[in-house]
Amino acid sequence: MTNLSRSKNKRAEYIHQRLEELFPETPIPLDHKDPYTLLIAVLLSAQCTDVRVNKITPKLFKKADTPKKMIKLDVKEIEDIIRPCGLSPRKSKAIWELSHILINEHDSKVPQNLIDLEKLPGVGHKTASVVMSQAFGEPMFPVDTHIHRLAQIWGLTNGRNVKQTEKDLKALFPKQSWNKLHLQIIFYGREYCQARGCDGLRCDMCQEMYPNRKTIKAYKKP
């Protein structure tokens, strides 16, 4: 590869190609059986690893895997189960409240649009985008901390904020690739280009795109 550091579009093409080679399959990291259990798992994953969430959700979903079952638990009971995921007081309250809203306003179903999803307690734009992408197959590009960091290190965005990063990535990659790329970039960040393990200097893709880079590439956190 030559002159990748000079062309954002060429870097995007290279990244897309390499990620397809490295991660041809992109299983959804959070265990779930339907849109509701995915929504709860994604909410729990805020500031928590997918591995830990997957250890906690079987116990929670054994007691309550539908909105109607969830509201029969009290908030404290939910909190006790999900405590290892962190932020348990806030998350348990959000789970209990959004379950009521789903019952009262959406016939116990998870809405299939961003506007209604983002109105739910504890559900921000990223969580809503993940649900739309992974539960309903709608083209989305949810930006988590790995994607926000790598997009800056790879020179695909200025990283001013997560919203801008999402906009820039959507402009660079084909719409039909967004859902898969979202996971591929996360997988790459976890396996090859961790924040403390690369900093834009060490992993194969960073070296290929920026062979002359000598100093750590700073990035803005979300």
Q: Yes or no: say if 99 and 43 are a contact pair by the CB < 8 Å rule.
A: no
Phi, psi of 141 (to 5 degrees): -135, 70
* The pLDDT of residue 99: 98
Task: State the CATH architecture for 35-134.
Answer: Orthogonal Bundle (1.10)
Q: Identify whether 31 is a catalytic site residue.
A: no
Given 144, 168, 180, 199, the catalytic residue: 144
The CATH code of domain 4-26+141-209 reads: 1.10.1670.10
For the chain, domain boundaries: 4-26+141-209, 35-134
Predicted confidence at residue 1, as pLDDT, reads: 45
Per-residue pLDDT of the chain (222 residues; tens, 9 = 90+): 446 667 899 999 999 999 999 999 999 999 999 999 999 999 999 999 999 999 999 999 999 999 999 999 999 999 999 999 999 999 999 999 999 999 999 999 999 999 999 999 999 999 999 999 999 999 999 999 889 999 999 999 988 899 999 999 999 999 999 999 999 999 999 999 988 888 888 999 999 999 988 888 888 887
Who contacts 25 (Cβ-Cβ below 8 Å, separation ≥6)?
none
Distant-in-sequence, close-in-space partners of 211: CB < 8 Å, separation ≥ 6: 5
The answer to whether 144 is a known catalytic residue is yes
CA-to-CA distance for 48 and 100, rounded, in angstroms?
Answer: 25
- Tell me the three state secondary structure of residue 1: coil
Distance CA 25, CA 10 (A): 23
35-134 has the same fold as 4-26+141-209: no
The structure's pTM equals: 0.92
Q: What pLDDT sits at residue 215?
A: 86
DSSP 98: H
**CA-based end-to-end distance of the chain:** 31
Give the list of residues 6+ apart from residue 38 with CB closer than 8 angstroms, or none: 28, 30, 32, 130, 131, 134, 135
Catalytic residue among 91, 126, 168, 199: 126
Please report the pLDDT score of residue 9 as a whole number.
92
Structure-block tokens of residue 67? 């909105």
Amino acid 6: pLDDT: 73
Q: What is the DSSP letter of 6?
A: G
Burial-class residue 188 by CB neighbours within 10 Å (0-12, 13-18, 19+): buried
151 touches 159 (CB < 8 A): yes
